[in-house]
């Protein structure tokens, strides 16, 4: 009875008990089989020489591991042997034996050094690690930005021989490939660099447009110098001992034919147009052929185009191939974006997970409309934007002298002091006395800083008339940065001014950041103690070290700041005077600003963009009734929109209504 009741209790656990018993039995059997096959190799290694295992061997081995201590071998130098100092290279690339990929050598002459060679340098120099020009003219005048090697002998064979000797001596250990071309050849630099990157360097290769020698077999070919050719480093090293013999034995009027015969006679290597699946493609340009109308497959895929008769044609070819590369890049971008769109549909987020622009992950995801970054849309006539935020900067004169003028040696700050008809006369108080004293004090505080001032007397001065006065005081190649005393420029403003203003091409009028009225938009409170809650986010460009910022906006209606060259301003001013005469010109000078002069009377591009480093303190602009209707409307909008943001204005109205109701 007891047994049956016990079995009834254990019946649910019987499968578990049987499984454990079976597992333990199989484990014991496996251990016995493993031990029966042999001992551990480490244990066998510590057996006694007689063949019997020492029972204490494993214990001694463990103890020796625990007692192991490293033995330090001191450095010892034999005093009888001379000490040799180990020299380390300056660059790790040299110590590792790494080499640059491609060096380009251009063969030029006395007649084309300052024309075609300069055009080659301007179109392809920035694509290659090194670009050298070789000429036979002795004492050649080197154009700016070009490295010219003069051999002193213009004979073709001599020029080619000395060029190869110079490349071997000075650059034989630094480059894997050497591309030799003439200055009447246009080279598609990115394609040539990609070709060199796909070829193996451990071979003797003479690659270019293969041409047959007159009266020679098909195997004897040379590379046409007009289309350029590639020489591998190993081939140049093998050719170097034969240069002197080839120069004395081979007579040729062309340097490319001389090199081809030298390689065939001395090394048995001829020119090839294809190697390892890579085809060297070239195009022969017909005389008076327009590159813009050329659309053949051979032209579109060419590495080199020859002949180029003049520098202008070189630039036109560069423009054409640059446009082709740009179209190809846009096509690849569209294909990648299409693939991204297709793959995004398969993600958990679906189409909602697609970022814009496609392929560029967003830096952050806005959680409300107040966190959406503002974009500015503008043309040469209109600009639309909605931006917020407020940078902070110090006062005008000190900021300009300390942060802008001090790091630059050739910058001059000119203050234009505009006197009224009855100001600054004899016996009258000079209203700008403090400004002049501050300028003199800043010149002493920052040595090397130049501050000048010009005094102008006018009843109702206009921006264009004042600019006429300043323009006459400076050379035509002067770069002007026009601003006001209310504007506080940051240290990088002049850099962007210099880059965005292009002489004869573009004038730059940045959009400054206008601070709100501090009465309506007070300064933010300084950070509180720990636990007081997070601080509000600072606007773009704010500098915490300069105090707490106030709100503001980028004032798209104002055009008081500008960057342009004096020559461009004089040209636009002369065109204004030619198109408008007499009373019409006087009215235009009163009603126009400098930006409008460039917009209406200049063929330059007019570039406008927001400038976070250009901050203007709150001030109400003086909207002169003499301005044109459009400028007067822009001035009024600038004053009204610059009071405060919508939230501050709404709060001010709410507080006013609350005060009136009580």
Longest dimension (CA), the chain: 136
How many angstroms separate the Cα of 8 from the Cα of each of 11, 20, 477? 5, 20, 109
Tell me whether residue 59 is in a domain: no
Number of domains in the chain: 3
Q: Are residues 446 and 494 in the same domain?
A: no
- List, in order, residues 6 or more apart from 333 with CB less than 8 Å away: 359
Mean local confidence (pLDDT), 167-184: 92
Tell me whether residue 404 is in a domain: yes
The token pair at 372 is: 């959406």
Mean local confidence (pLDDT), 595-604: 91
Per-residue pLDDT band at 552 (split at 50, 70, 90) = confident
pLDDT value for 432: 80
* Inter-residue contact 557 to 637 (CB < 8 Å): yes
Q: Is 18 left (phi over 0), alpha (psi -120 to 50) or beta?
A: alpha
Q: Are residues 140 and 234 in the same domain?
A: yes
pLDDT value for 58: 47
Tell me whether residue 495 is in a domain: yes
Residue with token string 């002007």: 480
Mean local confidence (pLDDT), 252-273: 91
Per-residue pLDDT band at 534 (split at 50, 70, 90) = very low
The pLDDT mean for the chain works out to 80
Q: Are residues 454 and 597 in the same domain?
A: no
Per-state percent for the chain, helix, strand, coil, to nearest 5:
40, 15, 40
- pLDDT tens digit string along 397-428? 555 555 555 555 567 788 888 877 677 666 67
User: What is the spatial distance between Cα 539 and Cα 519, in angstroms, rounded to a whole number?
Assistant: 19
User: In DSSP terms, which residues pair with 456 in a beta bridge?
Assistant: 418
The H or E element spanning position 608 is: strand 605-616
pLDDT value for 526: 41
Q: Are residues 457 and 489 in the same domain?
A: no
Of 26-30, 78-82, 548-552, the least confident: 548-552
* Inter-residue contact 136 to 113 (CB < 8 Å): no
Of 9-23, 101-115, 455-469, 486-500, the range with the highest mean pLDDT is 101-115
Q: What's the 3-state SS for 336-395?
A: HHHHHHHHHCCCCCHHHHCCCCCCCCCCCCCCCHHHCCCCEEECCCCEEECCCCCCCCCC
The values of phi and psi at residue 26, to 5°, are -65, -35
pLDDT value for 591: 76
Per-residue pLDDT band at 567 (split at 50, 70, 90) = very high
User: What is the spatial distance between Cα 313 and Cα 378, in angstroms, rounded to a whole number?
Assistant: 35
Of 46-60, 173-187, 224-238, 638-652, the least confident: 46-60
Residue with token string 């294809």: 274
Residue 131, CA atoms < 13 Å, CB-side half-sphere:
22
Per-residue pLDDT band at 389 (split at 50, 70, 90) = very low
User: In DSSP terms, which residues pair with 241 in a beta bridge?
Assistant: none
Residue 95 pLDDT exceeds 80: no
Tell me whether residue 27 is in a domain: no
Q: Are residues 240 and 200 in the same domain?
A: yes
Q: Which residue has the higher pLDDT, 213 or 329?
A: 329
Per-residue pLDDT band at 523 (split at 50, 70, 90) = low
CATH number of the domain residue 263 falls in: 3.90.550.50
Q: Are residues 124 and 254 in the same domain?
A: yes
User: What is the spatial distance between Cα 476 and Cα 453, in angstroms, rounded to a whole number?
Assistant: 19
The token pair at 393 is: 């900067």
* Inter-residue contact 387 to 550 (CB < 8 Å): no
Q: Are residues 216 and 175 in the same domain?
A: yes
pLDDT value for 486: 83
Domain carrying residue 409: 390-423+432-461
Q: Is 590 left (phi over 0), alpha (psi -120 to 50) or beta?
A: alpha
pLDDT value for 223: 94
CA R_g for the chain = 40
pLDDT value for 351: 79
Of 273-282, 394-403, 488-497, 588-597, the least confident: 394-403
- Choosing from 282, 312, 344, the residue where a domain stops is 282
The share of the chain scoring above pLDDT 90, in percent, equals 31
Of 254-268, 401-415, 505-519, the least confident: 401-415
Q: How many CB atoms lie within 10 A of CB 359?
A: 13
Q: Which residue has the higher pLDDT, 482 or 588?
A: 482
pLDDT value for 41: 45
Tell me whether residue 213 is in a domain: yes
By residue count, the chain amounts to 662
The share of the chain scoring above pLDDT 70, in percent, equals 79
- pLDDT tens digit string along 125-147? 999 989 999 998 877 778 888 99
Residue 57 CA, distance from chain mean position = 69
What burial letters (b/e) apply to 518-542, b meaning 16+ CB within 10 Å?
Answer: eebbeebeeeeeeeeeeeeebbebb
pLDDT value for 230: 95
Q: Which residue has the higher pLDDT, 24 or 404?
A: 24
Handedness of CA 75, 79, 82, 85 (dihedral sign): positive
Mean local confidence (pLDDT), 102-130: 92
- Choosing from 247, 282, 317, the residue where a domain stops is 282
Q: How many CB atoms lie within 10 A of CB 450?
A: 14
Instruction: List the beta strands (DSSP E) in 449-599.
Output: 450-457, 479-482, 487-489, 506-515, 552-554, 562-565
Residue with token string 């040209």: 571
Of 89-93, 224-228, 433-437, the range with the highest mean pLDDT is 224-228
- pLDDT tens digit string along 461-490? 788 888 998 899 889 999 999 988 888 887
- pLDDT tens digit string along 338-376? 999 888 888 888 877 787 778 777 777 777 777 776 666
Residue 310 pLDDT exceeds 80: yes
Per-residue pLDDT band at 61 (split at 50, 70, 90) = very low
* Inter-residue contact 589 to 366 (CB < 8 Å): no
Tell me whether residue 638 is in a domain: yes
- Choosing from 228, 253, 282, the residue where a domain stops is 282
Q: Which residue has the higher pLDDT, 552 or 530?
A: 552
The CA-based angle 580-455-462, given to 5 degrees, is 30
Q: Is 141 helix (H, G, I), strand (E, B) or coil?
A: coil
Tell me whether residue 173 is in a domain: yes
Q: Are residues 438 and 486 in the same domain?
A: no
Q: Is 606 helix (H, G, I), strand (E, B) or coil?
A: strand
Q: Which residue has the higher pLDDT, 273 or 458?
A: 273
Residue 273 pLDDT exceeds 90: yes
User: What is the spatial distance between Cα 409 and Cα 311, in angstroms, rounded to a whole number?
Assistant: 35
Q: Which residue has the higher pLDDT, 382 or 441?
A: 441
- List, in order, residues 6 or more apart from 213 with CB less than 8 Å away: 220, 221, 222, 257, 260, 261
pLDDT value for 550: 62
Q: Are residues 455 and 489 in the same domain?
A: no
Residue 563 pLDDT exceeds 90: yes
Q: Are residues 219 and 258 in the same domain?
A: yes
Handedness of CA 521, 526, 532, 533 (dihedral sign): positive
Per-residue pLDDT band at 45 (split at 50, 70, 90) = very low
Per-residue pLDDT band at 190 (split at 50, 70, 90) = very high
Per-residue pLDDT band at 501 (split at 50, 70, 90) = very high
Tell me whether residue 1 is in a domain: no
pTM: 0.47
Of 11-20, 51-60, 134-143, 239-248, the least confident: 51-60
- List, in order, residues 6 or more apart from 553 with CB less than 8 Å away: 387, 388, 513, 514, 516, 641, 642, 645
Per-residue pLDDT band at 66 (split at 50, 70, 90) = low
pLDDT value for 409: 55
Q: Are residues 437 and 567 in the same domain?
A: no
Q: Are residues 174 and 271 in the same domain?
A: yes
């Amino acid at each position: 009875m007891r047994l049956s009741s016990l079995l009834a209790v254990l019946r649910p656990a019987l499968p578990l008990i049987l499984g454990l018993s079976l597992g333990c039995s199989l484990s014991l059997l496996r251990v016995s089989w493993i031990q029966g096959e042999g001992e551990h190799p480490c244990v066998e290694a510590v057996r006694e020489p007689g063949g019997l295992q020492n029972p204490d061997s494993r214990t001694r081995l463990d103890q020796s591991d625990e007692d192991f201590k490293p033995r330090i071998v001191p450095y010892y130098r034999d005093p009888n042997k001379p000490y040799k100092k180990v020299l380390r290279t300056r660059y790790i690339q040299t110590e590792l034996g790494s080499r640059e990929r491609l060096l380009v050598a251009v063969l030029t002459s006395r007649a084309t050094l300052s024309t075609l060679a300069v055009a080659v340098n301007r179109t392809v120099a920035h694509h290659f690690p090194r670009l050298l020009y070789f000429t036979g003219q002795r004492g050649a005048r080197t154009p700016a930005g070009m490295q010219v090697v003069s051999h002193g002998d213009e004979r073709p064979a001599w020029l080619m021989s000395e060029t190869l000797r110079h490349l071997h001596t000075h650059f034989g250990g630094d480059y894997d490939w050497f591309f030799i071309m003439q200055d009447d050849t246009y080279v598609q630099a990115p394609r040539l660099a990609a070709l060199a990157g796909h070829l193996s360097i451990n071979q003797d290769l003479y690659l270019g447009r293969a041409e047959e020698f007159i009266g020679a077999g098909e195997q004897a070919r040379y590379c046409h110098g007009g289309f350029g050719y590639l020489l591998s480093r190993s081939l140049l090293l093998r050719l170097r001992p034969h240069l002197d013999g080839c120069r004395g034995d081979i007579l040729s009027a062309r340097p490319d034919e001389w090199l081809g015969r030298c390689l065939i006679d001395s090394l048995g290597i001829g020119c090839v147009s294809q190697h390892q699946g890579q085809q060297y493609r070239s195009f022969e340009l017909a005389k008076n052929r327009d590159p813009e109308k050329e659309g053949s497959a051979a032209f579109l895929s060419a590495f080199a185009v020859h002949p180029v008769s003049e520098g202008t044609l070189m630039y036109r070819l560069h423009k054409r191939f640059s446009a082709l590369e740009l179209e190809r890049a846009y096509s690849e971008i569209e294909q990648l974006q299409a693939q991204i769109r297709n793959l995004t549909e398969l993600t958990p987020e679906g189409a909602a997970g697609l970022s814009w622009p496609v392929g560029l992950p967003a830096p952050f995801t806005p959680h409300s409309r107040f966190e959406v970054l503002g974009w500015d849309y503008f043309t040469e006539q209109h600009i639309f934007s909605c931006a917020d935020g407020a940078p902070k900067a110090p006062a005008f004169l000190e900021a300009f002298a300390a942060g802008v003028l001090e790091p630059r040696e050739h910058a001059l700050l000119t203050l234009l002091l505009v006197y009224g008809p009855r100001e600054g006369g004899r016996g009258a108080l000079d209203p700008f006395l403090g400004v002049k004293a501050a300028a003199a004090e800043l010149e002493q505080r920052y040595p090397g800083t130049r501050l000048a001032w010009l005094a102008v007397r006018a009843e109702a001065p206009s921006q264009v008339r004042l600019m006429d006065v300043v323009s006459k005081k400076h050379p035509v190649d002067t770069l002007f940065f026009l601003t006001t005393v209310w504007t506080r420029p940051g240290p990088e403003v002049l850099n962007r001014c210099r880059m965005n203003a292009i002489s004869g091409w573009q004038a730059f009028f940045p959009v400054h950041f206008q601070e709100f009225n501090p009465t309506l938009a007070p300064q933010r409170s300084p950070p509180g103690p720990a636990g007081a809650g997070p601080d509000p986010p600072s606007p773009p460009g704010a500098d915490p070290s300069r105090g707490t910022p106030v709100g503001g906006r980028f004032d798209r209606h104002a055009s008081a700041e500008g960057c342009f060259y004096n020559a461009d301003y004089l040209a636009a001013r002369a065109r204004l005077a030619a198109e408008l005469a007499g009373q019409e010109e006087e009215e235009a000078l009163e009603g126009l600003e400098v930006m409008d002069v460039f917009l209406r009377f200049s063929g330059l591009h007019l570039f406008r963009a927001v400038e976070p480093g250009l901050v203007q303190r709150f001030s109400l602009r003086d909207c002169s009734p003499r301005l044109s209707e459009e400028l007067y409307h822009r001035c009024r909008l600038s004053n009204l929109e610059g009071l405060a943001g919508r939230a501050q204005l709404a709060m001010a109205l709410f507080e006013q209504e609350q005060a009136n109701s009580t």
